Amino acid sequence: MDPSGPDYSPPRDPLRRTAAPAEEGWGATCLWLPVNLVQAVSLGVVCGTLIPGALVARKCSGNARIALWMARKIWAPIIIGGGLSRLAVSGRENVSPGQPTLVVSNHQSYADIPALYCALPVPLRFTARMELRALPFIGRFMRSLGMVLIDRSSPRRAARAVVELGQALQRGEWTVIFPEGTRSVDGALGPFAAGSLAAAIAAKVDILPVAITGSGRMLPKGGFRVRPSRIHVRIGQPISTRGLEPGDRFALADQVRDAVGKLLADAVADSPGNLAGSTG
């Protein structure tokens, strides 16, 4: 069909099916409302119990090990299961737990965080927006676990956060970044910011590309609209930063984005008619 013709419509981006909520009628939406209400209350109870418990464990033990174990073994499985969703993981053999690594992932949903906790067999720390520090309990909880908060409104403070991230990697901590900077609404992969990758270069650690599909179906951006989904975490092969200089971070960002994009393309190729966002 002629792309310039009046009847032409562009082909639908196949990646959109990995993130965008499935269309449903108002009747189905109404039926889901009480379920989502129960899920929201349950989430509040779980977080209201586990966060204080993790803070106490952090204070008593003097380190974040127990709290991170609670996040990985208790909180994350409850969130995924409470969302009536299932998790699949590919490429776990690419994970070397004894080697500090910067995990670089696409970002579809807040559900990406529990999905990564469940998928990767290591204690994980995340980078996050500085604005989250103002949330009651959440900000204190994140800082106590060694999460790196980035203030994008100030280049100077953002640069300081990159230094903090590099120091965490040098201490042997596994840290996750979402270089798109925001959640994708339709599953399309956005541009990658290169700043945080300078931390991996400085610390001389590998970068682990990861692609997540289906999380945007479970909990899409823009509200608490939880639906069952099959979330798939695909883990790529590590990318070395040996021999790289800070100025190489832009080329490195392109390389890592290509790796994540390839993993997302594999998701479409593997299941063209029944992508990770489908239920069942």
Give per-residue pLDDT as tens, 195-252: 999 999 999 999 999 999 999 999 998 889 999 999 999 999 999 999 999 999 999 9
Q: What is the spatial distance between Cα 229 and Cα 238, in angstroms, rounded to a whole number?
A: 28
* The dihedral sign for the CA sequence 170, 176, 182, 184: positive
pLDDT at position 228 is 95
Best CATH choice for the domain 22-270 from the list 1.10.10, 3.40.30, 1.20.58, 3.40.1130? 3.40.1130
Distances (CA, A) of 273 to 91, 267, 276, 278: 22, 11, 10, 9
Check: CB of residue 145 under 8 Å from CB of residue 250: no
Q: Using one digit for the tens of pLDDT, what is the confidence trace for 147-157?
A: 888 887 778 88
What is the H or E stretch that residue 62 is in?
none
pLDDT at position 145 is 82
Q: Where are the domains of the chain?
A: 22-270
Residue 20, pLDDT > 80, answer: no
Distances (CA, A) of 9 to 4, 54, 128, 185, 272: 10, 52, 38, 21, 20
When pLDDT is cut at 50, 70 and 90, the band that residue 102 belongs to is: very high
Q: Using only C-alpha atoms, what is the Rg of the chain?
A: 19
pLDDT at position 215 is 94
122, with CB counted inside 10 A (0-12, 13-18, 19+), is middle
Please indicate, yes or no, whether the overall pTM of this predicted structure exceeds 0.75.
yes
